[in-house]
Structure 1
Amino acid sequence: MNPPDPPSTLHFFVDEAGDPTLFDAKGRILVGQEGCSKTFILGKLDVEDPASLHGALEQLRADLLADPYFKRVPSMQPERAKTARAFHAKDDVAEVRREVFRVLMGFDLRFYGVVRHKTALLDYVRQRNEREAGYRYRGDELYDTLVEELFRRYHPLADQLEICFATRGNKSRTHAFRSAIEKAEARFEGQYGIRRSAEVAIVASTPPEMAGLQAVDYCLWALQRHYERNDSRYIELIWGKVVEIEDMDRIEGGRKGVVYNKKRPLIVDQRASQ
């Protein structure tokens, strides 16, 4: 008799880009002002072999830190606790980013993202305030809603689901995160009549400890550049790793919410139509 197949496992790493802030401490609107992101994006990255990815990024960082070309780069200095500690696309210099993307493109990765536009969120909050005088917007509310949306959408079935999410500031909201995941699984089961995973393990961690969080940060940064700066070259670079991007506030054909994927790319290559 052949031994049973080992249980299949999906490894997801979850992080955010931008921030959920709409108001300052005095309730004044920040949307549209300098320093306030236009969007809030949540992403998950399915990594086939997290250990190998971790080893490759650790080796890359060691090689770059030993390269005399980078010895005067501020973010590469150990005391700054930036690139010398973990790759972070916002902090890394362009030459480092190119090397990280090169490594990531060599791995089996699948990226999913959910995008909210703050102008649309602000309209929603105003409308809800008119209906409910006691309602107060909270950033954690938006984060939890996007976690549920991100995971309720289809992804491959597996016996085990291991989810690692980046801690937000000094907070580890594992209980709230788990609650959002359970709601997403229940919605999926109700919609499709099957449960995707028998076991779900959830941990909060940091990029230095989990290279998968460094990788999803890079994917999110690429997507954020498209939305915030109209710079699409990075998301085009990694588009082969993208499963889908759900833009929840975009309106097309009179319907709100657009999903971009391989059949419907986020960036249309104008050269292909010429």
Structure 2
Amino acid sequence: MENKKLMDYHRFLDEAGDTTFYGKGKKNIIGENGVSFVFILGMVKVIDPLDKVRDKIVALQTKITNDKFYHVPSVLKKINKSGYYLHATDDIPEVRKEMFDLIKTINCNFEAVVGRKSIERYETKHKGKEEYFYADLLSHLLKSKLSKHDKLVIHISERGKSTKNHNLELAFLMAKQRFAKINENKNTKTEVVFNVNYPTKDPLLNLADYFCWTIQRVFERGEIRYYNFIKEQVKLVIDLYDAEKYENCKNYYNNNDNPLSSENKISPLKH
């Protein structure tokens, strides 16, 4: 019973993409020079016992550390610097395949909010501050979680100003306001506790990282093979600022009647 409660109350959150909008001379560089079109926040709920899943991920990381087959320069650099941890952007294809196979063995589900990057929205709605952009996305992830539990512990991968306590509390306040708007001004009963951590410290953040990276590949490249492989575990993806699809919530994607496809790739004309 205690394990069941523990798993119900905990979520693991990471990101993909970047919050870069400008280059030199305040030039718009969205989509240029490796700058992403979108920023993504994603949250994993693990239904299996948490320690068992951590042990699985640690075992894979240990295997990669000890097996010379994986010892390309980038892997060796990480091993020598901080100790090896899984990170989809940096991992070589063979490692990614191992991690995706592992994900399929874990009883978990994933939700994400995708924020299309727009200079106009960034300067008005988010006051030109990346932490406000982050808080806005986070509030949309939290708003549907505020009625089921007395307490929710959100384990978050550290990200500078965006994950400072005051900004996380701002996101929580925004989430409560959105919850009240949706639920006829009912008050939320859920206490939210934020636990900011590093991917090197909690392997379950590495799990969230892989899911986020998977969704990023769809929106940045129209690449869906990774998504299709773990689609059953992707419960919800909200393309938050896709105003063209607001009617009938067509910007809400699930793995049943409205899955993601290569058509979700962001074109330079639409951001």
Do they fold alike, i.e. is TM over 0.5?
A: yes
Query: Identity rate of aligned residues, in percent?
Result: 25
The amino acid across from 1:230 in the alignment is: G
Moved over 4 A (4+): 3-8, 169-172, 193-197, 251-257
1:180 aligns with 2:179: no
**Could you say which residue in structure 1 is the equivalent of 2:114?**
115
CA distance in 2 between counterparts of 1:125 and 1:58 reads 38
1:263 aligns with 2:251: no
| Structure 2, gaps ≥5 residues long | 264-271
CA distance in 1 between counterparts of 2:154 and 2:34 reads 31
CA RMSD of aligned residues (A): 3.1
Question: Which of 156, 159, 162 is the aligned partner of 1:165?
Answer: 156
Residue 226 of structure 2 aligns to a residue whose secondary structure is helix
Deviation at 1:157, TM superposition (A): 1.8
Deviation at 1:169, TM superposition (A): 4.3
Residue 231 of structure 1 aligns to a residue whose secondary structure is coil
**Could you say which residue in structure 2 is the equivalent of 1:132?**
none
Between stretches 238-247 and 183-192, larger displacement belongs to 183-192
CA distance in 1 between counterparts of 2:230 and 2:14 reads 17
**Could you say which residue in structure 1 is the equivalent of 2:23?**
24
Question: Which of 140, 154, 162 is the aligned partner of 1:149?
Answer: 140
- Give the length in aligned residue pairs: 257
Deviation at 1:105, TM superposition (A): 1.4
Deviation at 1:228, TM superposition (A): 1.1
Residue 148 of structure 1 aligns to a residue whose secondary structure is helix
| Structure 1, gaps ≥5 residues long | 130-134, 270-274
**Could you say which residue in structure 1 is the equivalent of 2:58?**
58
> CA 1:257/1:31 → structure 2, altered by over 3 Å: closer, same or farther?
farther
Deviation at 1:209, TM superposition (A): 1.2
> CA 1:257/1:79 → structure 2, altered by over 3 Å: closer, same or farther?
same
Deviation at 1:178, TM superposition (A): 2.5
- Higher strand proportion, which one? 1
CA distance in 2 between counterparts of 1:180 and 1:66 reads 41
Between stretches 18-27 and 155-164, larger displacement belongs to 155-164
Deviation at 1:4, TM superposition (A): 11
CA distance in 2 between counterparts of 1:186 and 1:117 reads 22
Residue 261 of structure 2 aligns to a residue whose secondary structure is coil
Residue 183 of structure 1 aligns to a residue whose secondary structure is helix
**Could you say which residue in structure 1 is the equivalent of 2:84?**
85
> CA 1:153/1:5 → structure 2, altered by over 3 Å: closer, same or farther?
closer
CA distance in 2 between counterparts of 1:248 and 1:80 reads 37
